[in-house]
């Protein structure tokens, strides 16, 4: 493990975490779009109603609303219903099946007809959470999402998910990506825990073994993200567009932390059948993220990306990265009992409070520059409550494969 923080701030207690979840929810629920789905929020929480409604934002908000319902917040039920209805009507392709990435709310027409695994993974997650929360249409939505995933995205020979199709499912994109597969693992673990089926767990295990125990371990934990159709790495991909919000060049530090946490959720799901390498690899990913990404330029915070030698490329600090650091540190501390992880957990909450949590305008600032000043190079506004909300929820849950599964079994 990299050297521990020089100071050990106090660890947030259950009351503080509950208050933070309530504060995040109060801000995020303002994203309900009158035309269906959820809107992009600006820095002050105003919905940008002229922007298209995007699937990933709608799914993440539906997921968070389901978690609120599972935690006993009855006022979240209409928000959950709004999200489920958007996935069954607004964003769904009634002609060819599957879901559009974004829809123009003025015309109801898709902004793009591309069918992306990233978005469909979040439909799986949202529908699983809605099902766990008891929404009457959750099970039907989940069944449809599972069928689309099985028919179009799962490549059993590769043990991975493919990236994207055209609208009619006739042309498959040559690119393969680790980001979409990461969220596929997250979704499959939720499907497994909510449905009880073994196939989603088998699929999640295969992806984690290939990505974490293969690609990441072979690269000394500097995980390549971009690949050809036969899963040959593309190390120079997007070198000329390094700050891309979904496909940045190089190593994405936050994804190392997110894979670390998800690897441990898989370990929990597998129970006695879990291989020993899952814990070792989760620690390896975490250590690499801290060594390369934290305080990389004499200022606290995680850089967004590095090159494959660990040199920072995009130095902006994004809120979701420290949120994933908090989650990974918490689970590693619980699973290993090592005090060093608990120290990082406390230190990163202190960093979030000092730099990201916006007590004046609400939610978390989504991006800071290399000196922790507000910025908007990669992300503008505050459209995403999911990472921060989950960071504030995880310490309150029993060990589980998914957030919804843990709350449903509480």
At 10, is the pLDDT very low, low, confident or very high (cuts 50, 70, 90)?
confident
DSSP 25-61: HHHHGGGB-TTSSBPEE-TTS-EETTSPEEHHHHHHH
Q: Known catalytic residues?
A: 255, 387
- DSSP 8-state class, residue 367: E
Residue found under tokens 């959720």: 265
Per-residue pLDDT of 361-410, as tens digits, reads: 999 999 999 999 999 998 899 999 999 999 999 999 999 999 999 999 75
Q: Quickly state the pLDDT bin for 213 (edges 50, 70, 90).
A: very high
Which pLDDT belongs to residue 118?
98
Q: What is the pLDDT of residues 33-61, one digit of tens each?
A: 999 999 999 999 999 999 999 999 999 99
Bridge partner list, 165: 115, 172
Residue 123 has pLDDT above 90, yes or no: yes
* Of residues 282, 318, 330, the one with CA closest to residue 185: 282
pLDDT at 321 over 60: yes
* Residue 98 confidence (pLDDT): 98
Q: How many whole angstroms separate alpha carbon 133 and alpha carbon 71?
A: 9
Mean pLDDT of the chain: 96
| pLDDT at 298 (0 to 100) | 87
Q: Where are the alpha helices (DSSP H) in 50-113?
A: 55-70, 77-85
Is the predicted pLDDT of residue 96 greater than 60, yes or no? yes
pTM of the complete model: 0.97
Question: Mean pLDDT throughout 255-279?
Answer: 98
How sure is the predictor about 5, in pLDDT bands with cuts at 50, 70 and 90?
confident
Average pLDDT, integer, range 279-300: 96
> What per-residue confidence (pLDDT) applies to 230?
98
Residue of 154, 143, 309 whose CA lies nearest to 222: 309
Cβ partners under 8 Å of residue 252, min gap 6: 179, 223, 225, 304, 305
Q: Which residues of 279-312 are buried (b: 16+ CB within 10 A; e: fewer)?
A: bebbbbbbbbbbebbbebeeebbbbbbbbeebeb
- pLDDT band, residue 6 (cuts 50/70/90): low
> How large is the average pLDDT for residues 272-297?
97
pLDDT value, residue 7:
56
* Structure confidence at residue 8 (pLDDT): 59
Q: What pLDDT score does 194 carry?
A: 96
What is the reported pLDDT for 71? 98
What would the pLDDT profile of 221-263 be if each residue is shown by its tens digit? 999 999 999 999 999 999 999 989 889 999 999 999 999 999 9
């Amino acid at each position: 493990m990299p050297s521990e923080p020089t100071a050990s701030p106090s660890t947030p207690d259950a009351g503080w975490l509950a208050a933070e979840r309530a504060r995040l929810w109060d801000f995020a629920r303002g994203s309900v779009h009158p035309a269906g789905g959820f809107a992009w929020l600006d820095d002050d929480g105003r919905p940008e109603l002229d922007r298209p409604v995007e699937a990933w934002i709608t799914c993440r908000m539906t997921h968070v609303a389901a978690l609120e319902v599972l935690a006993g917040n009855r006022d979240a039920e209409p928000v959950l219903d709004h999200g489920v209805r958007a996935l069954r009507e607004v964003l769904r392709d009634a002609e060819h099946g599957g879901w559009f990435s974004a829809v123009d709310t003025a015309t109801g027409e898709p902004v793009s007809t591309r069918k992306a695994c990233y978005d469909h993974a979040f439909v799986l997650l949202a529908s699983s959470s809605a099902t766990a929360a008891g929404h009457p249409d959750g099970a039907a939505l989940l069944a449809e999402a599972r069928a689309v995933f099985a028919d179009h995205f799962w490549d059993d020979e590769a043990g991975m998910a493919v990236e994207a199709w055209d609208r009619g499912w006739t042309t498959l994109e040559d690119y393969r990506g680790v980001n979409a597969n990461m969220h596929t693992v997250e979704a499959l673990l939720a499907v497994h825990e909510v449905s009880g089926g073994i196939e989603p767990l088998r699929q999640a295990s295969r992806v984690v073994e290939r990505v974490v125990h293969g690609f990441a371990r072979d690269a000394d934990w500097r995980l390549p993200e971009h690949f050809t159709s036969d899963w040959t790495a593309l190390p120079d991909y997007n070198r000329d567009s390094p700050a891309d919000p979904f496909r940045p060049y190089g190593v994405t530090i936050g994804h190392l932390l997110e894979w670390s946490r998800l690897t441990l959720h898989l370990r929990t799901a597998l129970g006695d059948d879990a291989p020993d390498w899952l814990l070792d690899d989760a620690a390896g990913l975490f250590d690499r993220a801290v060594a390369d990404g934290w305080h990389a330029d004499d200022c606290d915070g995680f850089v967004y990306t590095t090159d494959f030698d660990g040199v920072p490329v995009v130095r902006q600090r994004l809120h979701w990265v420290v949120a994933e650091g908090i989650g990974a540190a918490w689970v590693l501390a619980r699973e290993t009992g090592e005090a060093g992880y608990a120290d990082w957990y406390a230190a990163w909450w202190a960093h979030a409070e000092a730099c990201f949590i916006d007590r004046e305008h609400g939610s978390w600032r989504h991006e800071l520059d290399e000196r922790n000043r507000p910025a908007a190079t990669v992300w503008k506004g505050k459209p995403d409550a999911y990472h921060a909300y989950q960071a504030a929820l995880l310490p309150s849950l029993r060990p589980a494969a998914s957030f919804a599964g843990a709350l449903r079994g509480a």
